[in-house]
Amino acid sequence: MCQEIGDLRMDDITSEMILSVCESIQNNENQATFVGASTRLYTEKVFSFAVARGLCDRNVAVDTRGELAPANSGNHLPAITKPDQFATLLKDMSDFRGASKITLEAMNLLPYVFVRSIDLRSMRWNDIDWDNNTWAFSPTKGEGRDDMVSHLVVPLATQVISRLRNIQSITGYKEHVFASMRGSSNAYISKATLVQIFHRLGYKDVQCAHGFRASAKTLLMEQPELRYSDIVTELQLGHRIKDTHGGAYNRLDEIDTRVQMMQDWADYIDELRSR
What structural domains and CATH numbers belong to the chain? 2-69 (no CATH), 83-273 (1.10.443)
CB-based contact 207:111 (threshold 8 Å): no
CB-based contact 60:18 (threshold 8 Å): yes
- What's the pLDDT score for residue 143? 64
- What's the pLDDT score for residue 225? 93
Q: Please give the model's pTM, rounded to 2 decimal places.
A: 0.73
- What's the pLDDT score for residue 212? 96
- What's the pLDDT score for residue 12? 87
- What's the pLDDT score for residue 78? 86
Rounded to the nearest 5 degrees, what angle is found at the Cα of 119, between the Cα atoms of 113 and 122? 120
- What's the pLDDT score for residue 246? 55
- What's the pLDDT score for residue 32? 67
- What's the pLDDT score for residue 81? 93
Per-residue pLDDT of the chain (275 residues; tens, 9 = 90+): 556 677 788 888 887 788 788 877 777 655 567 777 878 888 888 898 889 888 899 898 887 777 666 665 555 578 999 999 999 999 999 999 999 999 999 999 999 999 999 999 999 999 999 999 999 999 987 666 677 788 999 999 999 999 999 999 999 999 999 998 876 678 999 888 888 899 999 998 899 999 999 999 999 999 999 999 888 999 999 988 765 555 555 656 789 999 999 999 999 999 999 98
Alpha-carbon Rg for the chain, nearest whole angstrom, is 20
